[in-house]
A and B are shown apart, each in its own frame.
Chain A
């Protein structure tokens, strides 16, 4: 009996697996609908004011964790995001807000964060908070950050998420932009999302 059972079990499990992966091919980025909680935070803006998702309500929000001393990943990501937003149909360009959350509050003062963020466009908002609040926020989005030992000059590396979390106009987590997507692909996804939730 067991000899006949094995192929059956294998077939069922293969069917179950393919069922999990079927469909949902309309996005280039990773679809995270239903996997993550909606956008919620209370952080400090570059002017020292409290910033919450309400300040950018109705916009598509791109949440990205990084730090301004980041040698390559952060500037590249932010540049790519700017390019992708600039490729959007003109109607949508003002509908995308990038939230750059620094996980290095010790070095990233509001002034420093402000000038860094504005370098990457008008719709980039620099945000940070004390470490415990940052820990809570990153935990909510199932990511983390860590610090290396400082070198002789006091410089240290920070490990952080390399992905961008995309929230739709109502604040629902929708997409995860993994490294490796082209500007065109990101732009198409953002346009798709912008058009879908406006109608």
Chain B
């Protein structure tokens, strides 16, 4: 029989559970009440739910315990929070769900939420988004900051949530399903450029951790490991997880965007140009 205890949160966070429950409930409600032709297909629904559950799983199960006391598990946690989970959520194209909820909102609520839109647009500037994506990884892996983050419960939660939210923003910018020809979504060339650009610093950081002779992150030494494992092995595995899978995700992202760009090539034409030709 599987160990149910593994599914119980190590560090119970009501806010986290509430947020995930709201997201899933909001998604489910929209699915049931939206126009059938708008409704995402089953693959997209599964991708969304898997992405959300992965992020939930690394934050509110026993996995979180191992993330706090093993460097390589911690890197795995951030790989999911900052890369894989948001990657799946963005790929699932939840745009119809957003539209549904946007239509449900009262005009007062919409005007209240306007500042959120401004912050969103600033954060989605291509340069800011790329610097933020890499900057957060470097910031939380800066050894003195990392030490404090692992010691303070508050900082630890701030770290994980900031990684998740930034991951969502970044991958949404990359996989925004709206065509750059018809809308002001980011152009495919720029998206590919960003994905390549963010891969390089991550590879450098990962390689640096892998090839470091000394202990870079002694907090796991100081605070005890979840099980007795050689610190060098832990650091090596953690470095590899910082280095290889994120680089691979960039490559996969680039391939997906290339495929879309080739697919749309010549098929979508700006309406204004059509009108121009007619006149």
Residues of A within 8 A of B (CB): 2, 5-6, 9-10, 13, 17, 20-21, 30, 32, 34-36, 65, 138-139, 142-148, 157-163, 176, 178-179
Chain B interfacial positions (CB closer than 8 Å to A)? 10-11, 65, 68-69, 125-128, 131, 135, 139, 142, 144-145, 147-148, 150-153, 155-156, 218, 221-229
A81 to chain B, nearest CB (A): 16
Contact (A9, B222) CB under 8 Å given A144-B69, A146-B227: no
Min C-beta distance of B17 to chain A, whole Å = 18
A176/B222 in contact, CB under 8 A: yes
> Which residues of chain B are within 8 angstroms of A159 by Cβ–Cβ distance?
224-229
* A189-B225 Cα distance, complex, nearest whole Å: 27
CB within 8 A of A148: which of B11, B125, B153, B228? B228
**Contact A138/B131 with A32-B151, A144-B68 known, Cβ cut-off 8 Å:** no
Chain B residues closer than 8 Å to A145, beta-carbon distance: 224
> In the assembled complex, how far is the CB of residue B151 from the closest CB belonging to chain A, in whole angstroms?
5
Q: In the complex where A6-B127, A20-B145, A30-B147 touch, is A157 in contact with B228 (Cβ < 8 A)?
A: yes
Contact of A36 among B126, B144, B151, B222 (CB under 8 A): B151
Closest to A177 in B: B222
3 tightest A-B CB contacts, nearest first? A35-B152, A159-B228, A146-B227
Q: Which residue of chain A lies nearest to B10 when distances are taken between CB atoms in the complex?
A: A139
Distance between A179 CB and nearest chain B CB, rounded to angstroms: 8
Residue pair B227, A142 in contact (C-beta under 8 Å):
no
Given contacts A5-B125, A148-B228, contact A161 B222 (CB under 8 A): yes
CB proximity of A70 to chain B, nearest CB, Å: 12
The distance from the CB of A77 to the nearest CB of chain B, in whole angstroms, is 12
B-side contacts of A34, CB under 8 Å: 152
Residues of the A chain whose Cβ atoms lie less than 8 Å from the Cβ of B225: 144, 146, 159
Closest to A161 in B: B224
- Distance (whole angstroms) from the CB of B199 to the closest CB of chain A: 18
Contact sample, A vs B, 27 pairs, CB 8 Å cutoff: A5-B125, A9-B127, A9-B128, A10-B131, A13-B131, A13-B135, A20-B144, A21-B144, A34-B152, A35-B152, A36-B151, A36-B152, A65-B224, A142-B68, A142-B156, A144-B68, A144-B69, A144-B226, A146-B224, A158-B228, A159-B226, A159-B227, A159-B229, A161-B223, A161-B224, A176-B222, A179-B222
In terms of DSSP, what is the predominant structure of the interface of chain B?
Answer: helix
Give CA–CA (A148, B68) in the complex, Å: 19
| Chain A residue nearest to B128 in the complex (CB) | A9
Q: Are A146 and B226 in contact (CB under 8 A)?
A: yes
Question: Complex: how many Å from CA A163 to CA B150?
Answer: 14
Instruction: Please name the residue on chain B nearest to A148 by beta carbon.
Output: B228
Contact of B223 among A13, A144, A157, A179 (CB under 8 A): A144
- Expressed in whole angstroms, the Cα–Cα distance for A20 and B153 within the complex equals 18
Shortest distance in angstroms between A66's beta carbon and chain B's nearest beta carbon? 10
15 new A-B contacts, CB < 8 A, other than A144-B68, A160-B224, are: A9-B128, A30-B147, A65-B224, A139-B10, A142-B153, A146-B226, A148-B228, A158-B228, A159-B229, A161-B223, A161-B224, A162-B221, A162-B224, A176-B222, A178-B218
Give the docked Cα–Cα distance between A45 and B251 (Å): 58
Greatest chain A CB density within 10 A among B65, B148, B228 is at B228
Q: Is the CB of B125 within 8 A of A2?
A: yes
B113 → chain A closest CB, angstroms:
26
In the complex with contacts A17-B142, A161-B223, A146-B228 CB distance below 8 A: yes
Q: How far is the CB of B146 from chain A (nearest CB, A)?
A: 12
Contacts of A36 on B, CB cut-off 8 Å? Answer: 151-152
- Chain B residues near A65 (CB-CB < 8 A): 224
- How far apart are the CA atoms of A148 and B221 in the complex, in Å? 16
